[in-house]
Amino acid sequence: MSPLTVLRTALLSLGANKLRSSLTLLGIVIGVAAVISLMSIGRGVQRTITASIQALGTNLLFVRPGAASQGGVFGGLGSASTLTLDDAYALVDTVYVPSVSAVAPELRATGQVVAGGKNTRTQIIGVTPEYQFVRNVPVASGQFITWGHIENTSQVVVLGSRVSSTLFGFRDPVGQSVRINGRLFTIIGVLKSMGGGAQGLFDDQVLVPITTTYYRLASQRTSQGGVTVQTVNVQVRSADDMDNAVQEIATALRLRHRITGDDDFNVSSQEETIETLEKTTNTLVVFLGAIASISLLVGGIGIMNIMLVSVTERTREIGIRKAMGAKRRDILLQFISEATLLSLGGGGAGVLLGLVLSRLMNGRSLGGQTFQTAFSSDIAVLALVVSAVIGLFFGIYPAFRAARLHPIEALRYE
């Protein structure tokens, strides 16, 4: 039989039982659509996370205490701090560290912020004036922290947009007072709303002078001289200077700390953070695809079941065809082609349904989270290939069973 004849015969056989074929095809449709929609969500999450980190700037380095890398954009608090404010500003020395354009040290604490009868518990970041530009945190009203505030250990605060709305509603709080851990602070500014992503965390935080955080709000202080810091955000002159900047920073700090053995600090970059997150989210995408593939497996079992029923119903037909000269290969190809047509047809419809679902879910909010999906052609091609393979795999046994039937026994079958 020619391939065209095999295809036409398979279509006629499937068309003779439209409802049964449609229900069998539905299992593959649901499976493929689930794979595409879930993997699109996974890819969307991956891109959203990557974009939010890249929005902070690709020419940023993070210097933190401790030899082991703490990782992350905001980092952890680590163990005993080995970095001071003086260390941070030694990194803008154009002689020893020419690749660095600015530094923004920070010291974090947590506290209760109270205004009138309202309060919120939030994270407090002790910063310097450069923080506004290095970490891209513009002010919506009022002003940012100045060097005068740093030198005088002033009890002033810049509120994140969500903290401001929680405590003061729609009123402009600049000039008002709040209490942070029982201490009276004057509000000098409110940050612009950062929206989602990593930058959106600033909406729920407050900024105060780094010296004020150290002397007034930090839960513990070290005995060494100077103000200790938890992270030094370093802005490099250009992305091409990143490797040079890492070496220059390491050399400068080793000289300052008189290090002869292991470093008591670590330097990480945005790119390292992005690479780590991409590995994590790739695992998430594969995991989601694996979960959705279970429904494809169920659809394949459905195809095998229906094809076995079809072989049983068409036993006499197979006997007649063999008696008229049909070869075992012809019977085998007919049933395999029917199974493959079912899986490919379901795969094609599933791709379209998955595309529609991914478009519908894009930008939708569920449980306070906004879905961002990223449909790509490689996912669709993979789903089609897998559905075709499933059709072949689960159609082979029924096809062999049909091909092995003896023509005389098949003709006598009732």
Inside any domain, residue 75: no
pLDDT of 360 strictly over 90: no
Q: What is the pLDDT of residues 221-239, one digit of tens each?
A: 654 557 889 999 998 888 7
90/148 same-domain check: yes
Full-model pTM = 0.60
Residues whose CB falls within 8 Å of the CB of residue 4, separated by 6 or more in sequence, listed in order: none
- The total domain count for the chain is 2
Given 223, 243, 263, which residue is the final one in a domain?
A: 263
Q: Which residue has the higher pLDDT, 104 or 395?
A: 104
What span, in angstroms and rounded, lies between the C-alpha atoms of 287 and 293?
10
**Residue predicted with more confidence, 383 or 250:** 250
Record the tokens describing residue 172, joined without a space.
């402009």
Domain range holding 104?
Answer: 83-263
Please state, in angstroms and rounded to a whole number, the distance separating the CA atoms of residues 390 and 379: 16
Identify whether 59 is part of a domain.
Answer: no
Structure tokens belonging to residue 249: 């920073």
> What radius of gyration, in Å, describes the C-alpha atoms of the chain?
33
CA–CA dist 95, 98 (Å, integer): 6
| 393 and 318 in a common domain | yes
Using left for φ > 0, alpha for ψ between -120 and 50, and beta otherwise, residue 300 falls in: alpha
71 token code pair = 């990782």
Query: Tell me, what's the pLDDT at 122?
Result: 93
Do 248 and 111 lie in one domain? The reply is yes
Which one has a higher pLDDT value, 74 or 34? 34
Contact (CB, 8 A) for 354 and 383: yes
Nearest to 81 by CA among 205, 247, 219: 219
Q: Could you tell me if 237 and 113 lie in one domain?
A: yes
Contacting residues for 181 by C-beta, under 8 A, at least 6 apart: 111, 112, 217
Residue 68 has pLDDT above 60, yes or no: no
Residues in CB range of 220: below 8 A, 6 or more apart: none
Are 309 and 180 members of one domain? Answer: no
- Residue labelled with tokens 């920073």: 249
401-412: per-residue pLDDT in tens? 777 776 666 566
Domain-embedded: residue 299: yes
What pLDDT digit, counting tens, does each position of 100-113 carry? 999 999 999 999 99
Q: What is the pLDDT of residues 289-339, one digit of tens each?
A: 777 777 777 888 888 877 777 777 777 777 777 777 777 777 777 777 878
pLDDT category at 59 given cuts 50, 70, 90 is: confident
Q: Which of 248, 221, 245 is nearest to 126 (CA)?
A: 221
Is the pLDDT reported for residue 367 higher than 70?
no
Distance, in Å, from the CA atom of 187 to the CA atom of 259, rounded to the nearest integer, reads 42
pLDDT tens for 283-302 read 777 777 777 777 777 888 88
Burial label, 121 (beta-carbon count in 10 A; 0-12, 13-18, 19+)? exposed
| Res. 201 pLDDT band, cuts 50 70 90 | confident
* Contacts of residue 357, Cβ cutoff 8 Å, sequence gap at least 6: 33, 36, 37
